[in-house]
Structure 1
Amino acid sequence: MQIARQLLTRLSRMSDIGKGTEPGIMFKYQPPVNRDMHELDRSFFVTKVPMVVVHFPEPKNISAFSAKFKDEVLKLPRISRVVKLEAHGEEPPLKKSTLANDNHIRKGVLLKDSVRTVDEAASSVSAEALQFMRDNEAVLQPYECVLDYSFWKTEEIFRAILPVEFLDEIPSGFTATGHIAHINLRNEFKPYGKLIGQVILDKNSKIETVVDKVDSIATKFRTFHMQVLAGKDDLVVEQRESNCKFKFDFSKVYWNSRLHTEHDRLIQKFQPGQCVGDVFAGVGPFAVPAGKRKVMVLANDLNPESYKYMVHNIEDNKTGTFVQPSNLDGRDFIRQSPQLLAEWYTRAGGEVVVPGGRKYKDAKTGESKRTEPEHTPIPEFIHHYVMNLPDAAITFLDEFVGLYSRYPGLLETLKQAPGFDAPWIHCHCFEKYDADEKPEPTMADLHRRVHTRIKNVLNVDEAVLPFGHLQFHLVRKVAPTKPMFCVSFKLPASLL
């Protein structure tokens, strides 16, 4: 009874401290509260709950009792009702058991948590359940259920240590990139950064480092300074995506794991044998998987670190036959892309060759054979351009005006190439609007605004680039008033 009184006192104290601050938490027990904690003390988060366990000499009666008397056994999430226990010093059985004094490991089933002492069982458990226990020589004994730091969820720990005024928005979410958990702490949470980071590290077995960005993306390479909150100071990660493996220094290149579906969506638009110009390729999330699909890719990025890791990823994923990297400014790359493709065409003799020689067994004859080399023609023109730089990509579109005019006679030559057509442009962009704008713009309104921006940069009117020729895809909402789109359109032939 003393344990029960201590527990009730603790729960009462917790209720007073956190009253009105536990929305959405369904579990009836909560960890002890300490809002003055600045260094994580795992030993503090222990709650001992007095319960009663029922042991049956015949183990099969545990499941039989649990099935027949569901309302009498423990039904709390994350706590198993069947527990191991040692048979020593237990309360007398309802009917004397020959096993009552055995000193070996046994199992028992916990009664509902409203039953906290053996004495309470007689008045709290149904007569039918009591009779079942008597008939099957059950032993009732006290059981102390210990809920420690490892038991509590991340959000429950945060609700026990963060100031009450912060509990409406607990910062438990993160983006995983390789072994790194990346969180974006608001300023008011930054004093608790190391505490938050350590809990996230503890509660996620695949995470080895937790980082917070120190500032917003402000460099031309879309990187930001990071602070390691917990774990090892190692920001070189390996990330798997689109059946490819990518290696990069997370602090020196741009990578967003939330874009994996967008990467896959666009890659599916590229057909084997086509050519893609990836203007802002980063470490290769579009280029490398496209290369695996036997799409020719001219992959470019201005950031020397991105270029370094892109080269590594191309080699590591064995896509060097299909992907050609470059380290140019985006404008220079667009201007030079027809020449870069022509040089690749000439250098490779108009085709890429995948060596044969891989052993396989013929399904019909059973004979062991080797694959033949695969010859894939290199196209003479680029079918798609990807522009994944949402902050500024639209401003680069003017470089496509007169795409072939810098190379005398090239357009006339290309018109003779099989299947020649103007390229598709896949341009990522933000279209931010004011939260106070009334009425709030619809998606159609935002699409029209993007269309106007594109026409202005290309210096064309509606007749040259009609609104209906643009395809809009909502990639994600970076913020409630900052959607990210991918706008796809075929470059008007008059601009070539």
Structure 2
Amino acid sequence: MSKNSLKTLVEKEVPADLSEYIPNRFDVVGDIAIVSIPPELWDYSEMIATKIVSMRGNIRTVLNKASRVKGDHRVSDFEILLGDSTVTTHGEFKYRYLLDLSEVFFNPRLGYERHRVTSLVLPREDVLVPFCGVGPFAIPAAIRDVSVFCVEKNRYACHWLAENIRLNNFKGNIYPINADAGDIPVILDMKFDRLIVPTPYGQDHFFSLLSPLLKEGGMMHFYTFQVAEDIEKSKQAFKDAGYETISVRRCGNVARGVSRWVFDLKKNRLAKG
């Protein structure tokens, strides 16, 4: 454990029998730090927030994540421990994203993964991004002289997406759509060269729903949550549906034994749909 880790700094200030409850890490979105403090440590929450600020000089606000992501808009409940605003601007590679964490879902841990996938987009492709949020997949993809259709149900996220299109001085072909991803086959009567699908937890049925929208030979980057032991079974299921698995990557753990994975899939000519 690092000498300067949050746990190391905090455990000096709490009783020994509570040290097991100290968070091991926190996330940073712009100048906001997000930490999950269990009830056992609530009396020490202000101290923990102060320690976080001492570790990262750019932090202006510290939020306690009081609930898991929930509801159609996939937003957590937050309690402000330090500071006075949930609005921030997050930098990711050469892009900036303005957002309000009380209104939208944003995962800073996926920064490298978003860069990896959007770097694969080829000029003149038609790209579909459901669950696009405030635009961290859609905007970098759209910079590459392509047409990007991005769909998001949360109207607040759509507001921030529009702000971020302007913030990044983007003038290309990007088409935000405020709609439920389940309605995409009805809304969009076209086929795409590439699908980037950051699927929410437990929503794997979107693979079958969106597959008919992908051209033969097209690429789908499908994100899902599962245990490592199920990877081979998933590969077989994608093969049975007419897809070749080009690569599989772990994109972080979400629960004990459960990780987020991305399957880079190529649609064969004999694929279903």
TM-score under structure 2 length normalisation: 0.88
Question: How do 1:46-445 and structure 2 match up within 5 A?
Answer: 157-168=9-20, 170-171=22-23, 173-230=25-82, 232-339=83-190, 381-400=191-210, 402-403=212-213, 421-432=216-227, 443=228, 445=229
* Residue 175 (structure 1) shift: 1.0
Q: Which has the higher strand share?
A: 2
Residues 223 and 261, structure 2, Cα contact 8 Å, conserved in 1: yes
- The verdict on how the C-alpha distance between 1:157 and 1:448 changes in structure 2, with shifts beyond 3 A counting, is closer
Shift in alpha-carbon separation, 1:239–1:164, aligned structure 2, 3 A: same
Which sections of structure 2, spanning at least 5 residues, go unmatched?
none
C-alpha spacing 1:448/1:320, structure 2 compared with 1 (3 Å): same
Offset of 1:399 from its aligned partner?
Answer: 1.8
| CA distance, structure 1, for counterparts of residue 70 and residue 60 of structure 2 | 27
Q: What secondary structure sits across from 2:231 in the alignment?
A: helix
Gaps of at least 5 residues in structure 1 are 1-22, 26-151, 340-380, 405-419, 433-442, 456-461
Quick check: which has more Rg, 1 or 2? 1
Q: Deviations over 1:443-477 (max 9, x none)?
A: 4x32123346x56xxxxxx55536x5463221122
**CA distance in structure 1 between the partners assigned to 2:20 and 2:211 by the alignment:** 51
CA deviations 1:399-431 (Å, max 9, x no partner) are 235549xxxxxxxxxxxxxxx744322110100
3-state SS, counterpart of residue 149 of structure 2: strand
Q: Aligned to 1:319, what secondary structure does the other structure show? A: coil
CA 226–269 in structure 1, closer or farther in 2 if over 3 Å, else same: same
Compared CA separation, residues 244 and 469, structure 1 to 2 (3 A)? closer
Question: How much does 1:190 deviate?
Answer: 2.8
Q: In the alignment, which residue of structure 2 is the partner of 1:448?
A: 232
Larger RCO of the pair (alpha carbons < 8 Å, separation 6+):
2
Structure 1's 243 and 451: CA in aligned 2 closer, same or farther, altered over 3 A? Answer: same
Q: 1:242 to 1:276 in 2, by over 3 A?
A: farther
Aligned to 1:7: none
Assess, with a 3 A threshold, how the Cα gap between structure 1 residues 187 and 490 changes in structure 2: closer, same or farther.
Answer: same
**Quick one: distance in 2 between partners of 1:310 and 1:300?**
10
Deviations 1:222-276 (A, max 9, x none): 111000111x220111011131111010121111111001101101110122121
Opposite residue 197 of structure 2, the aligned amino acid is M
Structure 2: how far apart are the matches of 1:402 and 1:388?
17
Deviation at 1:203, TM superposition (A): 4.2
CA apart distance, 1:172: 5.8
1:465 pairs with 2:242:
yes
Aligned length: 272
- Residue 169 of structure 1 and its aligned partner are, at CA, apart by 5.9
> 1 CA distance for matches of 2:2 and 2:115?
35
Q: Give the TM-score, by structure 1 length.
A: 0.50
1:130-159, CA deviations, whole angstroms, 9 ceiling, x for partnerless residues? Answer: xxxxxxxxxxxxxxxxxxxxxx98656523
Amino acid at match of 1:465: G
Q: Is this contact kept in 1: 2:6–2:23, CA < 8 A?
A: no
Deviation at 1:390, TM superposition (A): 3.7
> What one-letter code is carried by the residue in structure 1 that aligns with 2:230?
L
Tell me, in whole angstroms, the C-alpha distance in 2 between the residues paired with 1:172 and 1:477: 14
Contact kept? 1:209, 1:228, Cα under 8 Å: yes
2: CA distance, partners of 1:393 / 1:283: 20
| SS of equivalent residue, structure 1 residue 394 | coil
> CA, structure 1 residues 215+487, in 2 after alignment: closer, same or farther (shift >3 Å)?
same
1:295-336 Cα distance to aligned partner (Å, 9 max, x none): 321111111111110111112212242211111110212443
* SS in structure 1 of the partner of residue 189 of structure 2: helix
Query: Against the structure 1 CA distance between its residues 334 and 192, is the aligned structure 2 distance closer, same or farther, given a 3 Å change threshold?
Result: farther
Distance 2:263 2:136 in 1: 19
